[in-house]
Amino acid sequence: MKYTYVLAGWEGSAHDAKILADSLERAYGLKVPQGKFYLVDVGYAYRPSFLPPFRSTRYHLNELCARFYPKNAKVLFNLRHSSLRITAKRAFAALKNRFKIFDHKLFHTFSTQVKLVLACCIMHNWILGWGVNSFFSEEDEV
């Protein structure tokens, strides 16, 4: 549930594959550790260290009933891929629930909005790693 890399500042209309390419080309951009992989959605082309689901194969968990048994390796892979991607979606939901500023249209400049996203991700990771602030008693947190 922690963020390991954040690239803020792209427009919402930019294609995810273009943002990924940009993050990989930057000097201090996204680096995939040796032997590790990142899950990506079906909109991405295959590239080393990034695993999209198989195309033309069942993918979403809600398409599969409780008595469904995967008939081949591709369907099983897509089923597991989908269940793992839900964890990534939970991380974004946790960030949005923790920082209500994301619920409203921001009136800040674009530059400030980028900094807010980065600051919230840093604080989110800090809270997950260190928990409750020991400098304040529970009485003060009303």
> For the chain, how far is it from start to end, CA to CA, in angstroms?
26
Q: What is the pLDDT of residue 44?
A: 82
pLDDT in tens, 14-26: 988 899 999 999 9
**Alpha-carbon distance 72 to 5, whole Å?**
34
Q: What is the pLDDT of residue 50?
A: 92
Q: What is the pLDDT of residue 142?
A: 44
Name the residue ranges covered by the structural domains of the chain: 16-129
The residue with tokens 């989908």 is: 82
Q: What average pLDDT is seen over the chain?
A: 83
Residue 27 pLDDT > 50: yes
Question: Do 49 and 37 touch, CB atoms closer than 8 A?
Answer: yes
